[in-house]
C-alpha cells in the first residue's frame, strides 16, 4: 500500500539481509558491523524508488548507512543524523548527496546537527547528468548514475583506511570525472498516484529524462538502440574528453529487459570504440532506477590507476558484490 511502501520494503530487506541492521521505524539501513574502528563512514540517501540505490549499496566497501525517504521525496535530517551517529567511529562521516533541492537542504541541516553532536562531517554533491541545467527539483545538474561510482570508489577508499579529507577528495574527483545521460521509453507510476507520473505516448522517447521522470532535452519518435547510443554517448562526450580509460555504467531504469540492456551496451561500446575512448570496466544492469520506467542511462567515469584499483576492490552489498 502506498502509505506503507517504504516501511514494507525495509521489513523485507531486513528479512533478506541479516548482515544489515535495518531500523524500520526510523528508516535507516546500516551495515551490521558499524561503527568500524578508525574507518571513515559514508552516509547517503534520497527518495525511494531508485533501488538498489542507496540501501542496496550499504555494506563493506561501499556505504556505511543509507536513509530512504518516501518515494521520490528527500529523507529528513533526523534520519541522516541518526545514521551518522550510528556509524561514526570518530574518524568522521562523508555525506553523499544527489543534487536535488530537498536532499541538499536536508543534508546541509543534518550536517550542522551532526557537527553539534561532535561528529566531523564532510559533504560531496553528485551532479553528473548533462541533460539539462536546472530542472524540476534541481538547481544546476541532477545527480544520477555517477552516485554509484562515487559510493563505490569513496567506499573502497574508506575501507582502506584513508582519512576523511582524502575520501572526500576522491568522491569529489569521481563526480567531476563522471557524466550521465538518460532516455525514457515510458513513464513510471508511483505507488501514491498509481498511474504514470508524466505523459509519454507509445512510440515516443524522452531524451535526457531525469530519474523521477523530469523532462529532458527533447522528445522524438522511437529511435533504434543504435541511434540512442550514438545520441547518448555524443552528448556525454561533448562535456567530457577522457584521456584516461573510463568506467561504463549501462543502467536500466527499471522495466527494460536485461536482454535489451546488453544489446544497448553493445551499441554503446561500438560508439566508444569509434570515438577512441578506452574502456576499463563495464557494468550493465538496473542500479539507479525510476520504479517501473522503461529506459536506460549511460554514465562514463574517467579513472586513473588509483580509481580503477578502488573500483576493483572487494565490495559486499545487496546490490553490488564482488571479491568477498
* Rounded Cα distance, 268 and 300, in Å: 11
- Known catalytic residue: 17? no
* Rounded Cα distance, 72 and 74, in Å: 7
Strand pairing category for 295-302 and 279-285: unpaired
Q: Using CB under 8 A, which of the segments 46-54, 120-128, 150-158, 163-171 binds a second copy?
A: 46-54
Give 2 or 139: the residue with its C-beta nearer to a second copy. 2
Give the residue among 209, 217, 193 at the shortest CA–CA distance from 293: 209
- Known catalytic residue: 54? no
- Interface with a second copy: number of residues (CB under 8 A): 51
Label residues 65-103 b or e (16+ Cβ within 10 Å = b). bbbbbbbbbbbbbbbbbbbbbbbbeebbbbbbbbbbebb
Q: Is 59 left (phi over 0), alpha (psi -120 to 50) or beta?
A: left
x/- mask, a second copy, residues 262-291, rule CB under 8 A, reads: xxxxxx-x---------x--xxx-x--x-x
* Rounded Cα distance, 127 and 105, in Å: 15
Q: How far is the CB of 130 from a second copy (least distance, A)?
A: 23
> Which residue of 49, 77, 143, 210 would you call a contact of a second copy, by CB under 8 A?
49
- 109 sits near a second copy (criterion: CB under 8 A): no
> Which residue of 5, 109, 169, 308 would you call a contact of a second copy, by CB under 8 A?
5
What is the Rg, in whole angstroms, of the alpha carbon atoms belonging to the chain?
18
Active-site pick, 17, 27, 50, 179 = 50
Give the residue among 280, 270, 269 at the shortest CA–CA distance from 243: 280
x/- mask, a second copy, residues 63-102, rule CB under 8 A, reads: --------x-------------------------------
Q: Using CB under 8 A, which of the segments 43-51, 59-67, 122-130, 160-168 binds a second copy?
A: 43-51
Task: List Cβ neighbours of 33 (8 Å cut-off, separation of 6 or more).
Answer: 60
- 230 sits near a second copy (criterion: CB under 8 A): no
Instruction: Give residues in contact with a second copy (CB under 8 A).
Output: 1, 4-6, 8-13, 15-16, 48-49, 51-52, 56, 71, 191, 224-225, 250, 254-267, 269, 279, 282-284, 286, 289, 291-292, 294, 316, 321-324
Residues with active-site annotation:
50, 212
Amino acid at each position: 500500500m502506498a502509505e506503507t511502501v517504504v516501511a514494507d520494503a525495509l521489513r523485507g530487506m531486513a528479512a533478506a539481509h541479516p548482515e544489515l541492521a535495518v531500523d524500520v521505524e526510523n528508516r535507516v539501513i546500516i551495515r551490521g558491523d558499524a561503527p568500524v574502528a578508525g574507518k571513515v563512514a559514508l552516509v547517503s540517501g534520497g527518495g525511494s524508488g531508485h533501488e538498489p540505490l542507496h540501501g542496496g549499496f550499504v555494506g563493506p566497501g561501499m556505504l556505511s548507512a543509507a536513509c530512504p525517504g518516501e518515494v521520490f521525496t528527500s529523507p529528513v535530517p533526523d534520519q541522516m543524523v541518526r545514521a551518522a551517529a550510528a556509524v561514526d567511529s570518530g574518524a568522521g562521516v562523508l555525506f553523499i548527496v544527489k543534487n536535488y533541492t530537498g536532499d541538499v537542504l536536508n543534508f546541509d541541516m543534518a550536517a550542522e546537527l551532526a557537527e553539534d553532536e561532535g561528529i566531523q562531517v564532510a559533504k560531496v554533491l553528485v551532479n553528473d547528468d548533462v541533460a539539462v541545467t536546472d530542472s524540476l527539483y534541481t538547481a544546476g545538474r541532477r545527480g544520477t548514475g555517477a552516485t554509484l561510482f562515487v559510493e563505490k570508489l569513496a567506499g573502497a577508499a574508506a575501507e582502506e583506511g584513508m582519512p576523511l579529507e582524502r575520501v572526500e577528495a576522491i568522491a569529489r574527483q569521481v563526480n567531476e570525472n563522471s557524466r550521465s545521460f538518460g532516455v525514457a521509453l515510458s513513464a513510471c507510476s508511483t505507488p501514491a498516484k498509481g498511474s504514470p507520473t508524466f505523459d509519454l505516448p507509445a512510440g515516443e522517447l524522452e531524451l535526457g529524462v531525469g530519474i523521477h521522470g523530469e523532462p529532458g532535452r527533447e522528445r522524438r519518435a522511437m529511435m533504434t538502440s543504435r541511434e540512442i547510443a550514438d545520441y547518448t554517448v555524443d552528448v556525454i562526450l561533448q562535456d567530457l574528453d577522457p584521456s584516461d580509460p573510463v568506467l561504463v555504467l549501462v543502467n536500466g531504469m527499471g522495466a527494460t529487459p536485461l536482454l535489451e540492456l546488453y544489446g544497448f551496451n553493445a551499441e554503446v561500446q561500438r560508439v566508444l570504440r569509434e570515438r577512441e575512448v578506452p574502456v576499463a570496466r563495464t557494468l550493465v544492469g538496473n542500479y539507479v532506477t525510476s520504479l517501473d520506467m522503461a529506459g536506460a542511462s549511460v554514465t562514463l567515469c574517467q579513472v586513473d590507476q588509483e580509481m580503477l584499483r578502488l573500483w576493483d576492490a572487494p565490495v559486499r552489498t545487496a546490490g553490488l558484490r564482488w571479491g568477498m
